[in-house]
Amino acid sequence: MSKRQLFKLPSSAVTDETVYRARRRLLGAFAVSPMLSLAGCADAEVPPSTVVVTPEQARSGFRTREPLTRYEDVTSYNNFYEFGTDKSDPSRAAKTLRTSPWNVAVSGECAKPGTVGLEDLLRAATPEERIYRLRCVEGWSMVIPWQGVPLSAVLKRFEPTSKAKYVAFTTLADRAQMPGIRYRSIDWPYREGLRIDEAMHPLAFLATGLYGKPLPQQNGAPLRLVVPWKYGFKSIKSIVEIRFTERMPPTAWNRLQPGEYGFYSNVNPDVDHPRWSQKTERRIAGTGNRLFAERIPTLPFNGYGEQVAALYAGMDLKKWY
């Protein structure tokens, strides 16, 4: 692209970066506001789906022919607020994160709770490689080859009971290792959650590496969640706690601003963020030109509708956003 062509780009092609900066400025104001109730109150929770996904349907979502995002971009353009709010902060600051030894506490509505080391946690599952798209609510997306294990295989070993309707996850919060948590931009520690049928879905994945290498600190080492049909902030990083719950658990962005970030957070081009459109996204792949990356249409459920749409049959996705 020539310089002449570059400066003829419409303003819509670059709004995401501006919006991101505006979001940073708003964080402080949100953080000191009274906590609002969870979007989708507990007395109106939606029950898990009874739909069974066939192995063929599941496997069809494990691969894509789309160009991969460069390793350099995957590891240097990150959201990990525990290490700073600029995209480049985590790749610089996250080197302070110690990833070994690493323990995960599992509790709540299950028959076999306990605290286990990372290797023991993953022992029940067969390692796999999957290529997933992740889309950020800010309007950019990446295609990444992940290494890890199916989430369901790990959760089943703890034998969740019939009361386990949700799975809650918590990130490490250590001021000594994570300089970003000295600032109250979020109610630390970072929390996320899934409905139990979402957590048991074959696409839900616990990542321990990418591009054939161990997961870098800035990408959520040593253990992160990957839920490819949801916005990226649902894929919680550096997990230290998993809890099975009967009621919908609080989640970080939903607690901060429930009018903007719903509990479900499924990628939906028909439901705009209150401050920007979700109809298109910047696909960061191949060229490394992040700001002027090609804009493409956003797909419902991030393109995984065939595999996951049935989970939400009968739900009003503009209410349960």
pLDDT confidence of residue 289:
64
Instruction: Specify the pLDDT at position 44.
Output: 61
Closest by CA position to 27, among listed 185, 179, 180: 185
pLDDT in the model for residue 287 = 61
Please give the average pLDDT of every successive group of 10 residues along the chain, which has 321 residues.
Answer: 33 36 38 37 67 81 92 95 94 92 98 97 94 94 97 98 98 95 91 97 97 97 98 98 98 94 96 90 76 86 96 92 92
Q: What DSSP element (H or E) covers 224?
A: strand 224-226
Buried b or exposed e, range 144-169, using 16+ CB within 10 angstroms: bbbbbbbbbbbbebbebeeebbbbbb
For residue 206, give the DSSP letter.
E
Amino acid at 243: R
pTM: 0.85
Residues 6+ apart with CB under 8 A from 262: 39, 40, 254, 320, 321
CA nearest to 301, candidates 270, 264, 269, 267: 267
3-state secondary structure of 57: helix
Q: What is the pLDDT of residue 22?
A: 37
> What is the distance between the terminal CA atoms of the chain, rounded to a whole angstrom?
38
State pLDDT tens for residues 188-244: 999 999 999 999 999 999 999 999 999 999 999 999 999 999 999 999 999 999 999
- 3-312 under CATH 3.40.50.720, yes or no: no
Alpha carbon distance 228, 61 (integer Å): 9
Q: Tokens 């230290």 correspond to what residue?
A: 240
d(CA 190, CA 122): 22
What residue segments make up the domains of the chain, in order of their start? 3-312
Query: Which of helix, strand or coil describes residue 75?
Result: coil
Cβ 132 vs Cβ 228: under 8 Å: yes
Q: Give the residue ranges of DSSP H helices in 175-263.
A: 196-199, 252-256
